[in-house]
Amino acid sequence: MAGYVLRRLLAAIPVLAIVAVLVFLMLRLTPGDPAAVIAGDNASSEQIAQVRQKLGLDQSLPAQFAIWIGNLLHGNLGESFFFKKSIGELILGRIEPTLSLAAATMLIAVCVAIPLGVVAAYRHGSWLDRIVMGMSVLGFSVPVFVIGYLLIYVFSITLGWFPVQGYQPLSAGLGGYLHRLVLPAVTLSVVYIALIARMTRASVLEVLNEDYIRTARAKGQVERKILFRHALKNAAVPIVTVVGIGIALLIGGVVVTESVFAIPGLGRLTVDAVLARDYPTIQALILMFSGVYVLINLLIDLTYSLFDPRIRH
């Protein structure tokens, strides 16, 4: 197992290296000049050239890439062009809202979707199964920002149960923290509930036709025990895969949800950096997201052995 983990970690290095090169070239070859954005609309060409020289954008692409990689290997993510702060400080200041939103979203999605998928598989072909599958299709079809604005209108503007926008840090109080986190987490969890519920239903439905399920029923075991101990455990490998992919896909979903609910997280930071063409910040964020994606895939592979002992061998 240790050798497998080491091989997977070593395989992640070239992946991250390719991502770094692609991001570096893609940002610099697209139209637009960050020096002109920073200097302002009324800046002269001389002032823009001074800003470009100060930022090091007047150097060749290989020189810029060498400087950036050198700083990165020394643990220095650089300084933001737009925010005039260290990128490490920016990420640390924005990471709590994003992690809170992602954790709350997956907690809601897993707690709701897996029982719904198991029940839909058990009641295959019934009205309950049709309702769950219909809700799953609806959850896939409606964009996240539409769901967000709809929930804001109903629960914030009409009923007044939740604040319209904003985020309260955990250090400022648990009650306000959870109160402002519920609505964006529910908004973002709708898509993942649909995804996980469909996969759970398909996996459990396939397992329910196996011989050991019929044997367990012939022994007179309780149906709930058969569903959740035998069927769900043996169907867990594809479900865990989908949950892991969902966590990785949260990177894209968080950007939209944080913009709708004005949450000062990494998603909002990414949008602001892209609009300002803040090269160092965008590069650091994409590399961080790529590293998280690779780490999640590694953890998914390691959890397979917990549900299927055959994978260990």
Pair 171, 261 in one domain: yes
Tens of pLDDT along the chain (313 residues) come to 666 667 777 777 787 778 778 877 776 666 666 666 666 667 677 777 776 776 666 777 777 778 777 777 777 777 777 777 788 888 888 888 888 888 888 888 888 888 888 888 777 777 777 887 888 777 777 777 788 888 888 888 888 888 888 788 888 888 888 888 888 888 888 888 888 888 888 887 877 777 777 777 777 777 777 777 767 777 777 778 888 777 777 765 577 787 788 888 888 888 888 777 777 788 788 888 877 777 787 777 777 766 666 655 5
Domain assignment of residue 5, yes or no: no
Contact present, 264 and 94 (Cβ < 8 Å): yes
DSSP 16-42: HHHHHHHHHHHHHHSS--HHHHHH-TT
Max alpha carbon distance in the chain (Å)? 85
Pair 112, 243 in one domain: yes
Pair 160, 285 in one domain: yes
Q: How wide is the angle at C-alpha 128 spanned by C-alphas 127 and 134, nearest 5°?
A: 85
Q: How high is the pLDDT of residue 303?
A: 74
Domain assignment of residue 15, yes or no: no
CA 46 – CA 160 distance, rounded (Å): 53
User: Among 78, 84, 52, 81, which residue's Cα sits nearest to residue 65?
Assistant: 78
CA 63 – CA 47 distance, rounded (Å): 23
Pair 136, 238 in one domain: yes
How many CA atoms within 13 Å lie on the side-chain side of 134?
Answer: 7
Contact present, 253 and 212 (Cβ < 8 Å): no
Helix axes 174-207, 127-141, angle to 10 degrees: 120
Residues spanned by the domain of 212: 97-312
| CATH number, position 284 | 1.10.3720.10
Domain assignment of residue 13, yes or no: no
Residue 105: strand, helix, or coil:
helix
Q: How high is the pLDDT of residue 128?
A: 78
Pair 62, 134 in one domain: no
CA 292 – CA 279 distance, rounded (Å): 20
Domain assignment of residue 242, yes or no: yes
CA 151 – CA 257 distance, rounded (Å): 12
User: Among 215, 212, 196, 10, which residue's Cα sits nearest to residue 115?
Assistant: 196
Domain assignment of residue 295, yes or no: yes
Pair 47, 140 in one domain: no
Pair 156, 255 in one domain: yes
Q: How high is the pLDDT of residue 92?
A: 84
Domain assignment of residue 11, yes or no: no
Domain assignment of residue 9, yes or no: no
Which phi and psi (to 5°) does residue 96 adopt? -60, -50
Domain assignment of residue 92, yes or no: no
Pair 150, 246 in one domain: yes
Q: How high is the pLDDT of residue 278?
A: 76
Pair 69, 101 in one domain: no
Sign of CA dihedral 67, 71, 77, 80: negative
Pair 111, 202 in one domain: yes
In the chain, how many domains are there? 2
Q: Final residue of a domain: which of 73, 88, 115?
A: 73
Contact present, 273 and 288 (Cβ < 8 Å): no
Pair 28, 104 in one domain: no
Q: How high is the pLDDT of residue 3?
A: 67
Q: How high is the pLDDT of residue 242?
A: 80
Pair 112, 56 in one domain: no
